[in-house]
Structure 1
Amino acid sequence: VWNTCLQLAKDFHAKHQKWISKSGLQKLTKGRFHLHSQSIQAVFHKYLFARDSAHQSVRKGIRTVRYPYKTKNHYNTKWAKDGFKISSNGKMELSMGIHGGKREKPIIVYATHLPEGQIKEIELGYDHGLYLAISYEDGMANKPYYKQQSAGVDPGEIHSLAAFREDGESLIITGRKVRAIHRLRHKKLAEIQRLQSRCKKGSRQWKKYGKAKRFILSKSERQLRDALHKTTKQFVDWCMRQSVSDVYLGDVEGVQRHTRKKKSVGRKQAQKLSNWSMGKVRQYVKYKLERQGIKLHAVDESYTSQTCPVCRKRNQTSYRNYRCACGYAEHRDIHGARNILSKALYDEFLHVDV
């Protein structure tokens, strides 16, 4: 469905010089696939979302972005509200829709330990084997919001999160576990790539090395997800203990693109920035904070790590401690978090005396 969607969109744009709509995709693909209609529509939604996101990035002047173009061998299939039935004994019937006026036989799966709640969506994926991912409503409402303390957060590549509360309490969470996983992954992949380059493409040994690469990528992805969940949970627990109601997170969108333009940045530093999982950190922090009734606000972090809040001069430092000629000194990441909080609360860099 995805590959057909790409080809139809390409042909439509070449003929009409405009993008194809969702209704146009539905009309051209009606009756072509032995799948439930909602499963097909889910693919269309993903394509349209990817296309619109790329278009918005192009309008912002980002030249490295590309519109969706890659064909895929595996693509996750979704079943929404009317596409599946679940019995009390754990039997799940995944509908394959109606084709040629006749209802197709459903996919039948038996599962144990299903979640206790209203199941909203079932997704079939592939990662060294087929698996089902189930989204459900647990019935737990988010805690209400009460105005209390505010905290500024400076995300980083060495220290994943550095936080500063307005009364002086601070927190630093290291990101060295995440960096170690990335380094090991790059090392193993490079080693396998060297061995694979000596084999004939398509041979049995070449395919074995390809399978080994996919295994390393899959395993490292699970390790990274686990490390990021533990990091963000530690931060949210700190916010709850410190009675924080508003979190101001530094927005680092585009830092990789802007850094690549500088000639002083080497290959190693560029690789570190490309490994920075800031989007996932923000996503995990957001939903964990919302569950506890804490609001998350994005703040532009321009010059927050360079500006001295006392004399307002800009100083760049390559050390972990920030020092200014006026006598001000602070840990570099905590210094950035303080300036982010000051910028959010007072719209300027002020020295918060604590």
Structure 2
Amino acid sequence: MVSFSHLSRLALAFPVLVAAIPHDLARFPSLRIHNHCLDAPVCSAPILPEIAPAYSFAIAPGTSYNQPLTPEYLNGLGATIQCSRAGYEGVTGIEWTREPALGKLSINLSNVKGKVFSDHGQSMYMHGYDVWGSCGDAICGAGDYDCKDIYEVHDDARGMRTCSADTWVDWHLCAGDPDSREEPPLLPLDGQSQQPEPEEPEPVEPAPEEPEPEEPEEPEQPEQPEQPEEPEEPEEPEEQEEPEEPEQPEEPEEPEEPEEPEEPEDPEEPEEPEEPESEESAPEELEAEEPVPVETQPEENDAEQDEAEGEQQE
């Protein structure tokens, strides 16, 4: 049997145990309690526990309370969940006890009517409460045994006691953030797994070296898309330069005309009027059709004229 005096002794020993906890362990569990009073239209005034009354609090029906379980709170800190009806009072008390040396946290649920923190009740134990993310939920409904795998009964004929007929209590115990559901990391296992892993990749390193030369071959293929530079074919406008070539044949026709400047020799003979007539007839024929034989005729006349001039000079 866990007596009331025993709980008070734990409360006195708590400050000594807390002093042994290093300040680095800043992660402490928190307790969330929600009170459901069934068939209880009237709720009684808070009943303060005899242990640490300054830290006690009452939870009204239908409300929740979040309590961080830091070392500043003494062992034996408790809460009363009370409901009454028709002159009958049903009280449920909750008390938690920290045992840092064992890494253990116990929460006692007392469900004896009319008493606070009775020797008879149900308790939930949480080990490793200083591990971040370790959480536990508990619900004790009216008249059910859903909590039997979580709670332990102290000196109650080794039987499971139910909650009071008019009270339904549930709470959420979590190390650290009460809303956190993350599982604690397995650092030792991860550390061992990381050590062999670097050893294995060492022999594997020569193998990946082979695919590395293959990768540069692949970038050579993308060089093919450089072929789209073929649109440089607009060099075809050079063909347009070809029409300039037909202009060249027109130029040889023009040098035939400079042969006519030889005719300025004619002005030396102003006496011969017939020559301009032949010249006039020649351009008329050129303007008409410009045949090739016409161009030869003036050349013959010029030769005859040259001969005649030579005879005259003689």
Q: Do Structure 1 and Structure 2 share a fold, with TM-score over 0.5? A: no
Which of these two proteins has the greater Rg computed from alpha carbons? 2
Q: What TM-score does the superposition give when structure 1 sets the normalisation length? A: 0.16
Q: What TM-score does the superposition give when structure 2 sets the normalisation length? A: 0.18
